[in-house]
Amino acid sequence: MSRCVFVLLDGLNAHTARRCMGYLLALEQAGHARYAQLSCELPPLSRPLYATLFSGLSPVEHGILHNDDVRICPTSTVFSRARDAGLVTAAAAWLWVSELCNAAPFVPARDRLTNAPSLPIAHGLFYSSDLYPDAELFCDANCLLAQHKPDILLVHCMGIDTTGHQHGVESRAYRDAVREADGLLARSLPNWLANGYTVLVTSDHGMDEDGMHNDTTDSVRRVPLWLIGCPQPLPEAQTQVANVLCRILDIG
């Protein structure tokens, strides 16, 4: 069993990741990270795919099929399974994660700072502006890690997705957002590994040249995944990510 940091870089497509994430490529070339390209499930929208990444079921199977379907994920998630196994869970994440895992709809005064061991995500810092800086989000995540020493920590930032919506996938701004995320990982990941964490980095969906991600182009569907610090087999589908996380945590 290992503890796990699960990094979800919202809206990162595989092509730009390969071009702009030099730190992660360096880890691969040194033999410390392994890479897989996955095809995201359909529809390629955030809330359905968060539920897929957390539960291991496709959107058609778990039933959350659009972004306005505000409710708790109707099936177990890696966080509820970890909670049930007595593990410590934490997340620095966009508010929809709180809605899928903890309580829906999101109530900022109640949910933004969560410390409730009975909930699937016991310790949470949930933000509600998609302009929330990724650098601040990584600070939030590292604060949760230091304070609670979680067995699983979700780090979920929106900067790449937001920039993609504003400028499209073929823009310098989008590439710069990806480069920034790579730099943030370079600043945090060595400390996570030194503290015994396995790290899984992936995204929910990619982005297209229209600044959207609700189509079936390769630019939208091809998403990257890295596994760093553990010998578990790489997932071959987005529906296998939850099981990989559970195997890292040794909870089935």
Binding site for Zn ion (CB under 5 A): 10, 46, 161, 204
CA distance 1 to 230: 10
Q: Give the nearest distance from C-beta 162 to Zn ion in angstroms.
A: 10
Q: Give the nearest distance from C-beta 44 to Zn ion in angstroms.
A: 8
Residue 12 or 153 with smaller CB distance to Zn ion: 12
Q: Give the nearest distance from C-beta 231 to Zn ion in angstroms.
A: 29
Residue 41 or 204 with smaller CB distance to Zn ion: 204
Report the candidate in 54, 56, 120, 53 with the shortest Cα–Cα distance to residue 85. 120
Q: Give the nearest distance from C-beta 161 to Zn ion in angstroms.
A: 5
Q: What are the φ and ψ backbone dihedral angles of 163, each rounded to 5 degrees?
A: -65, -35
Residue 99 or 204 with smaller CB distance to Zn ion: 204
Residue with CB nearest Zn ion? 46
229: left (phi over 0), alpha (psi -120 to 50) or beta: left
CA distance 228 to 238: 17
What tokens were used for 63? 């039933």
Count of beta carbons in the 10 Å neighbourhood of residue 134:
22
Residue 161 or 182 with smaller CB distance to Zn ion: 161
Bridge-based pairing state of the strands 3-9 and 33-39: unpaired
Residue 54 or 197 with smaller CB distance to Zn ion: 54
Q: Give the nearest distance from C-beta 21 to Zn ion in angstroms.
A: 18
